[in-house]
Structure 1
Amino acid sequence: MIDPKIIARRILLALALTTTLIVLGACSTARLAYNQAPNLLYWWLDGYMDFTSAQSSQARQDIDAFLAWHRSTELPTYARQLQQWQALAMQDITPAQACTQFEAVRAAVQRASERGLEPLTRLAQQLSPEQQAHLQRHQSKSNESFEKDFVRGSPEQRLSQRLDKAVSRNEMLYGRLSPAQRELLRASLQQSPWDAQKTQQERLRRQSDLLQTLQTVQTLRNGNGNGPVDAAALTATRGHLARVLQSPTPGYSAYSQTQVQHGCTQFAALHNTTTPEQRANAVRVLKGYEDDLLALMAQR
């Protein structure tokens, strides 16, 4: 899954975090994590922006409003989705079916991102030069981590790291994978169209786009940025989000869609090798997620 977010994808993803948090998170901690989301999202954003005291107060209000909308509007949709997944878990699936479910999650992230545009645009208009420099340092640190995790090292080392992560994600759903299932994942990752260098270049483009958009909305602010959000500024941030969701880089959208298709094929292939016990485990996990959502929806 979402995310992207201050006028940027990364900041937008912060508010959309709860979408994937519930859908993909650990069942035993989902309710706790969601109930802690106001603080988690605040500190995540503060790490990027280094809020002033006035910005802190507004950010907390905006986060509370976003989560109230999310709880009442989005959680029921997720609960229905999880019910569908429980039924699918007990049968073989096709790559097309897997992609349909992926698109549902992506649409949820997009809805959450769109919901956060106005408050994040207002915040963007209030950022000082020092805060913008803080954001750039955070971007540089993120780039260094990506290089370390996905670009450096031998091909075998990088493959091994990706395999470990893939196994861990799937075992959250199915329980322990067999050696044959691990080998299936390894073979699929070896054939993956994912390109670390190309992905890093897109990350850099998005970061540059974010900084340029930030400069644009700064020129459109009303006074000190505390007034109503200018329509042109909101259009600028929406344009940034659109360029995150569909890159203007020639060929990148096709590359991205190829990755999605490969991921759907990989998931379906692995799922279709699962045993009755593994599928029953998946149903239990998904049912646990659903129960957590129903409990969260009942809270007021």
Structure 2
Amino acid sequence: MKLGAAWGRTLCARLLTTVAVGLLVSGCALTLGYRHADRIIEWQADHYFDLTSGQRRDLLARTQRLLVRHRREMLPDYAEFLDQLKARVQAGLRPDDLDWAYAAYDRFRGDLVERVLPDGSALLTTMSESQVRHVEQVLIREEQKTRESWAGPSDARAELRADKALALARKWIGSLQAGQVAQLRASVRALPDAEPIWWESRRQRRKAFIASLRTRATEEHLADELRGIVNPTVEQSEAARAQLDREWRAGLTAVILQLDHMLTPVQRGRAVSSIQDLIDDLRTMTRAR
């Protein structure tokens, strides 16, 4: 599972994705990505905001401090979570295991938001109007590209969603049997057609983000505004989006449990081994200085 793409294109959301959660959940180039996260974040921020040399230095210093603390304080918790996940996968997943995993994901994401907001808000208060216009145009262009990528019949989106799910399953558990492919494809295709509502949610959050930048608020006020944008509570979420997220999570739970019940011993062993590889990477990074 990858971190959800909904409105992940602002500086704060990119930082969240790059620093830990996205790397942890996707398992893609974890060690390399985390060790170079400061430079990746600098590149992303410059892409969005066209940073001045002073802002770039400030961002790099803040990011390096954040990563040092995060590695020391949170990577052991990630490794512990994965240790428990490995045991649950080994025993065979149950619905309460997925509830537990979602709760951990929400907790880790919330922790990252709170870690990033003080430094992120401080940096954002230094943005000029030309930089605000720059990021607005970048976000609008990305928004349009995203919309074009899923525009068309809902059936085509369902097929693309199924293809991605099958590729992710093969990454974690290896080759799939014909029956498993057919069942997983059908189950993923039946998930809610989320893209239109997610796109509208991204559009609204992009507008709120730009409006917040233009208020020239204090760091504390801007942090409060961004908290609601990046990590909204249920009460703050749009009703349609909140309902869709609940339906999507319930549907995803059913898909994962169905796949888990179809796993062969070899496939389950591969999944456990894949999780252990992530645990080893995290513990290596925790010990790094």
TM-score, normalised via structure 1 length: 0.87
Tell me the secondary structure at the aligned position of residue 70 of structure 1.
Answer: helix
Residue in structure 1 matched with residue 22 of structure 2 by the alignment: 20
Contact 2:50/2:134, CA 8 A, preserved across alignment: yes
Tell me the secondary structure at the aligned position of residue 59 of structure 2.
Answer: helix
Return the letter of the residue paired with 2:111: R
Residue in structure 2 matched with residue 179 of structure 1 by the alignment: 178
Superposed CA offset, 1:68-108 (max 9, x none) = 11101110001101111211222321233213212212221
CA distance in 2, matches of 1:242, 1:118: 14
Q: Relative to 1, partners in 2 of residues 1:34 and 1:183: Cα closer, same or farther, differing over 3 Å?
A: same
CA-CA distance at 1:167 after TM superposition: 1.0
Contact 2:180/2:262, CA 8 A, preserved across alignment: yes
Q: Relative to 1, partners in 2 of residues 1:203 and 1:76: Cα closer, same or farther, differing over 3 Å?
A: same
| Structure 2 counterparts to residues 119-268 of structure 1, below 5 A | 119-152=119-152, 154-216=153-215, 218=216, 220-221=217-218, 229=219, 231-243=220-232, 247-268=236-257
CA-CA distance at 1:240 after TM superposition: 2.8
CA-CA distance at 1:244 after TM superposition: 7.4
Contact 2:198/2:241, CA 8 A, preserved across alignment: no
Residue in structure 2 matched with residue 70 of structure 1 by the alignment: 70
CA distance in 2, matches of 1:124, 1:253: 28
Q: Relative to 1, partners in 2 of residues 1:4 and 1:263: Cα closer, same or farther, differing over 3 Å?
A: closer
Tell me the secondary structure at the aligned position of residue 74 of structure 2.
Answer: helix
Structure 2 unaligned spans of 5+ = none
CA-CA distance at 1:246 after TM superposition: 6.0
Query: For structure 1, which segment, 39-48 or 14-23, has the greater mean C-alpha deviation from structure 2 after superposition?
Result: 14-23
Query: For structure 1, which segment, 252-261 or 274-283, has the greater mean C-alpha deviation from structure 2 after superposition?
Result: 252-261
CA distance in 1, matches of 2:238, 2:50: 31
CA-CA distance at 1:287 after TM superposition: 0.8
Residue in structure 1 matched with residue 104 of structure 2 by the alignment: 104
Q: Relative to 1, partners in 2 of residues 1:206 and 1:233: Cα closer, same or farther, differing over 3 Å?
A: closer
CA distance in 2, matches of 1:280, 1:258: 30
Identity of aligned residues (%): 22
Tell me the secondary structure at the aligned position of residue 51 of structure 1.
Answer: coil
CA-CA distance at 1:178 after TM superposition: 1.8
Residue in structure 2 matched with residue 226 of structure 1 by the alignment: none
TM-score, normalised via structure 2 length: 0.91
Q: Relative to 1, partners in 2 of residues 1:16 and 1:248: Cα closer, same or farther, differing over 3 Å?
A: closer
Contact 2:158/2:189, CA 8 A, preserved across alignment: yes
CA distance in 2, matches of 1:140, 1:203: 10
Coordinate RMSD, CA, aligned: 2.2
Return the letter of the residue paired with 2:26: L
CA distance in 1, matches of 2:264, 2:77: 29
CA-CA distance at 1:146 after TM superposition: 1.5
- More RCO (CA 8 Å, sep 6+): 1
Tell me the secondary structure at the aligned position of residue 251 of structure 1.
Answer: helix
Contact 2:31/2:282, CA 8 A, preserved across alignment: yes
The alignment of Structure 1 onto Structure 2 pairs a total of residues equal to 285
CA distance in 2, matches of 1:245, 1:57: 36
CA distance in 2, matches of 1:245, 1:109: 15
Tell me the secondary structure at the aligned position of residue 86 of structure 2.
Answer: helix
CA distance in 1, matches of 2:59, 2:5: 18
CA-CA distance at 1:166 after TM superposition: 0.7
CA distance in 1, matches of 2:223, 2:194: 33
CA-CA distance at 1:239 after TM superposition: 3.2
CA distance in 2, matches of 1:215, 1:247: 21
CA-CA distance at 1:51 after TM superposition: 0.6
Residue in structure 2 matched with residue 292 of structure 1 by the alignment: 281
Tell me the secondary structure at the aligned position of residue 194 of structure 1.
Answer: coil
CA distance in 2, matches of 1:95, 1:54: 50
CA distance in 2, matches of 1:247, 1:259: 18
